Structure formats: C-alpha cells, structure tokens
A and B are shown apart, each in its own frame.
Chain A
Amino acid sequence: GNSVTQMEGPVTLSEEAFLTINCTYTATGYPSLFWYVQYPGEGLQLLLKATKADDKGSNKGFEATYRKETTSFHLEKGSVQVSDSAVYFCALRISGTASKLTFGTGTRLQVTL
C-alpha cells in the first residue's frame, strides 16, 4: 500500500537556524508529493508540491525536491522564523485514486528566539 514516514518531532530550533524535516514514502504507483502546514488552531494549508521526479517545490523560503531514487521529499529552509512554528505534514497522492491524500504523522516545529 501507500504510506508516508516523517521524522518524529518536536523539532526545536533557534531563529535563523537551518531546518530539515525528513520525509520518505512508499507507493504502488507514481505519486505526486506535498507538504502541508498546520498553524496552531487552524486547518491545513498547502505549502509546496512536486509532481514528478527531480521537481523542486518551493514557497515562503521552504524547498523540497522529489527524489525518486531515494523515495524522499525532505523539507528544508535556510533560516527559520518564530512564525514558522507549526506542524508540517508530508503527503502523497496517486493519480486515479480520487485525489485521496495519504499523510505522514506530522512533525511539530518549534522555533524560539
């Protein structure tokens, strides 16, 4: 079946530190990959996506590259801010499955001054 594995949190960083949140996947088909972010008390928002191998998704300083050879989609940001504190979800979607998203367990990021 399809599954997404994320690193356990919480991840605690000081402001301006470099962020990596690991995400690997297993899929029966050829997935599209996503990162969603959930700020406290809010619903999920799409942060970035990649639809084919070697694509790089980017938004708000965050980046992730679709690596088919390592089945990974790690999230990175060069310099985090306190406002980036949230829960980050990696997800995949296989085409033809009514756009069902399969999520990882989420990784909480806490950024301190």
Chain B
Amino acid sequence: DTAVSQTPKYLVTQMGNDKSIKCEQNLGHDTMYWYKQDSKKFLKIMFSYNNKELIINETVPNRFSPKSPDKAHLNLHINSLELGDSAVYFCASRQGAASYEQYFGPGTRLTVT
C-alpha cells in the first residue's frame, strides 16, 4: 500500500543514453512534483503537474521532459544523459490547495558514468 512509488530505485547508465524514471501515487492527489537532490543533499524542485497540466517548470535543461499520462502518474524522461545528471530524483504528490503536506517517494538514484 505504498503511497508514492518510483521505479527504478537505482539506475546506472552511460553518458549519452536516454532513460526514464516512473512515479505513481495511489493517494488520489491532484498535484505531483519532481525534485533533484545532488551529492551535497541540496534539494531543488524541477517540475510540477496539477491534473496532468504543467504548472511549475524551473530552469531545467530541455533534455528533461516530464510526462503525466494521468493524475496518478508523473514520469521523467532524460535525453542525452550527462555526468552532472547524477543525483537522487524524488517524486512527490499533494492534494488540493488546503493541504500543505507533500508526500515523497523513496527516490531514484541515477548514476551516469
């Protein structure tokens, strides 16, 4: 009964490859997020979708493309991977305007070699 799940948990790949990370939430939330946590634990928002519509798009290279096929899923596709993309990527979700809490997934550790 995991609330926010991500796959894969670990991803090791070479520079130049294209990869996807998937996120699913079973909480019935309207809003989903992608965050990137670098090696120093600094956490920064990348994207947010509300009801499948993009509402936050921070300064992220356009090699990163989020896709929300439905309200419960927000996937992250990364083209032409670079060494600097190595990080832990967290998905999160939130319900409605009245709720402040974001529920985070367990993270996907991406290592680009």
Contact = CB atoms under 8 A, between A and B. Distances in A.
B40 A105 contact: yes
Contacts of B107: 42-43
A98 B48 contact: yes
Interface in A81-113: 87, 89, 93, 98-103, 105-106, 108
Interface residues of B, number: 23
Nearest to B41: A106
A17 interface: no
Contact of A103 (B40, B44, B105): B44
Nearest to A42: B106
Nearest to A105: B42
Contacts, number: 54
B48 A46 contact: no
A49 B100 contact: yes
6 contacts: A43-B90, A43-B105, A43-B106, A43-B107, A98-B55, A99-B94
Given A44-B104, A105-B41, 11 more contacts: A34-B100, A42-B107, A43-B90, A43-B107, A44-B92, A49-B100, A49-B101, A87-B41, A98-B55, A100-B56, A105-B42
